[in-house]
Amino acid sequence: MDRKRNASAVKALISLIPGLAYFLEGHQTLSLIWFFVTLAILGLALWRGHTWLWICLALWWVGSSYDVLMRYYRNTSRLWPAVLAALVAFYGVGWEVTEIDLLAPFQRFDKMKPYLVALLQPDLILHPEEREVFQVPIEMPCVKEPQPKTIGHKETITVSSGCAWTGDTLKVEGETLRPGFKVELWWVNPIGERQRILKGGTPLTLQTDEHGRFTAEFTVPKAIPVGFEPKPGEYQVHTLQVHLVRRVGMIRPSDALIEVALKMGETIAIALLATTLAVIVAAPLSFLGARNIMGGSIPTRAIYYLMRLFFNVVRSVEPMIFGIVFVVWVGLGSFAGMLALVAHSIAALGKLFSEVVEHIDPGPVEAISATGANRLQVIRYAVIPQIVPDFASFTLYRWDINVRMSTIIGFVGGGGIGFRLSEWIRLSAYRQVATAVIGIALVIIALDYLSSQIRRRIV
Amino acid sequence: MPLIVEHLTKIYPDGTRALNDVSFRVEDGEFVAIVGLSGAGKSTLLRCINRLVEPTSGRIIWNDIDITAASPQELRRIRRQIGMIFQQFNLVKRSTVLTNVLSGRLGYLNPWLTLLGYFPPAEKKRAMEALERVGLADLAYKRADELSGGQQQRVGIARALMQEPRLLLADEPVASLDPVLAHSILRYIEELNKEGGVTVICSLHFLDLVHRYATKVIGLKDGFKVFEGRPEEIDDRRFKEIYGQEAERIGG
Ligand SMILES: Nc1ncnc2c1ncn2[C@@H]1O[C@H](COP(=O)(O)OP(=O)(O)OP(=O)(O)O)[C@@H](O)[C@H]1O
Ligand SMILES: [Mg+2]
């Protein structure tokens, strides 16, 4: 009776220390997991100091003990209460530190909108045009009685009032201008911010008639610069610009389009060169990293393990990190980007290649060895014919990847399209960004298709 | 110049004793059949002779040269005179038939030129002759994996022919082929043996083939040599010694 009670007490004690029961049952890994999870929740609770984390810790504790007691008395495992408590703690803290803001994408949609709009009208073509600009100063607000204002002698522009305020309606007329020109109205505020004058949400566009006349009414836009509001009794001078526009000559690709095409070419070339250099290095190395080639003696096996270690370590470094390293090392530009790609590709290809070499059919190798061929001849006549298709296919695939990576590495200064794209993003050149994004997408889709077609042919 | 195998033992790294103290002697021009159950050590024995498998102990002497003690360079000179054909043919599937045959000659040629893929015209002619001998001259430029099994094994023979071998090792050369093809392949080997004077050591599964082609039989069981003699000496008792008490004789 007494012993029985003692046994129960021991069991209760064991159940109170998370993981101990598992340790005693010989599940070392499980007990370690329990130990570290307990520590982790405790650490989180101490760090963030929230009450709900302490509650999670308590629930975890109770849950673990409950599990152990179930194991002792019911012979079943009841893990979910403890696991649930731990998950709540981890995900809760995860949510908190990520500062998840589900509303941000909607509330800040206006930040994204220009890019989306620009995607529909990328900067692709340029229509050279002739543009004559008339400037009419407008005082804001009116401090005197409004007076119509006319500028010019032979060609005149008349505005119904030389002063106005945001929301006022003004009438503008042109006389004896050049006939058959398009007319655009622009508003420029004192700090030089320009905006096109709209009517009903779209840019107001008119045409001069055969006598060179036009008439338009428009609403003065919001243009007072923030922080430069005129003091009472004072005014600031804005400018109404009247543009007479006529297209001349042929359309041609825009500067941005030419730039994107050139840089895309540069990107593809960087990727191609990097892939080629990487193959030249990785192909021989891959033999050193193949077990069936290097398995023979202890020194060769040592080289094999070293090679594998090298491939795995280098492969795990993001190309972006290499990009930063090489930009520091050899300076900004395509060369740094290329070296970054080479470094990563050597390891990635080396690993893939050595696996290809490991999976060749050993039969032909034996057969050629048995003819008295030397090691290199065996590689040339028994190994290489077997690996060429896979090597070629992995190389193409790598080139494809490198084109993508190259655009990313450009962002950290590695040349190519990425470099220019990052500049345009910084300058808020939305339409140019759109041109670049569309260019990158098209090239990658084309390459993807091309390389998969070629790969299908050779395998 | 006989082949002498003395106390040959092979223990694989995992501890399998594939050959136990096997000794025998093969005279020039003999056609030796190696028989035994699956796992008896036939392949291991054949592979020890050209050291595709490193023997654990014992000696193999051929032409008064100790193969087991040969340096890598000497070993290549020995290997190039020993042809070998395999159950799975072991052709390089993506290479042409001609290249497969030519590769039998690698041990004789300038290694650097062959690395560039160059073979002297005389060698190409020799390869075409070898293909003619096995009746495949018109398939020289096909890829090896486009051929049927029997054709592939004939390419294997042509490859061995390129070595101008004095000894031919054949590891179950007909086990993947149907009986009609088996005879046609073995007849090519027999022709080499009878007319070319090439010594043949060949592992075989079927006793009727042994009786038909071999001049001498070596029986293996669990790595031990349990029989050595002429084919007609294999009576029921001997058969059971080689193949076990429960085995039934079929054919032969
Ligand atoms: N590379 C190896 N490593 C370990 N054990 C091996 C190896 N190769 C063969 N063995 C073992 O050695 C023994 C003899 O094998 P071997 O291939 O020589 O037999 P065999 O007579 O050729 O059989 P089969 O008729 O099936 O080809 C077998 O028990 C086999 O499992
Ligand atoms: Mg075998």
Domain ranges for chain A = 2-97, 129-248, 255-458
**Cβ separation B80–A372 shorter than 8 A:** yes
pLDDT at A74: 87
Determine the residue among A298, A360, A371 to mutate to test chain B binding: the one whose Cβ has the most chain B Cβ atoms within 10 Å: A371
**Per-window interface: A 386-425 vs B, CB < 8 A:** 386, 388-389
Find the farthest-apart pair of alpha carbons in chain A and give their distance in angstroms, rounded. Answer: 121
Calpha distance B16→B14 (Å, rounded): 6
What spacing in Å lies between the alpha carbon of B29 and ligand 2's midpoint? Answer: 24
Q: For residue A54, is pLDDT > 90?
A: yes
- Helix and strand element counts for chain A (H, E): 17, 13
Phi, psi of A456 (to 5 degrees): -60, -35
**Residue of the nearest CA to atom 2 in ligand 1?**
B12
Any idea which architecture A255-458 has in CATH?
A: Orthogonal Bundle (1.10)
Instruction: Locate A396 and state its tokens.
Output: 């193409």
Lowest mean pLDDT among A409-413, B2-6, B58-62: A409-413
**Mean pLDDT, chain A, as a whole number?**
90
CA distance A434 to chain B (A): 47
Element (H, E) at A147: none
pLDDT at A295: 76
Residue type at position A192: G
Q: For residue A380, which residues of chain B lie inside 8 Å, CB to CB?
A: 114-115, 117
Q: For residue A127, is pLDDT > 50?
A: yes
Q: CATH 3.40.50.300 occupies which residues in chain B?
A: 1-81+165-252
Instruction: Locate A424 and state its tokens.
Output: 């345009």
Number of Cβ within a 10 Å radius of residue A189: 19
pLDDT band of B252, cuts 50, 70, 90? very low
Calpha distance A230→A189 (Å, rounded): 12
Topology (CATH level 3) of domain B1-81+165-252: Rossmann fold (3.40.50)
Q: Does domain A129-248 have CATH number 2.60.40?
A: yes
Per residue in A166-223, pLDDT tens?
999 999 999 988 888 899 999 999 988 888 998 887 888 888 888 889 999 999 999 8
Query: How large is the ipTM?
Result: 0.93
Q: For residue B65, is pLDDT > 50?
A: yes
Least Cα distance to B68 among B4, B15, B16, B20 occurs for B4
Q: How many residues does chain A have?
A: 459
Number of Cβ within a 10 Å radius of residue A320: 16
Determine what percent of chain B is predicted with pLDDT higher than 90: 86
CB A271 within 8 A of CB A403: yes
**Cβ separation A388–B92 shorter than 8 A:** no
Query: Is B54's C-beta closer than 6 angstroms to any atom of ligand 1?
Result: no
pLDDT band of B249, cuts 50, 70, 90? low
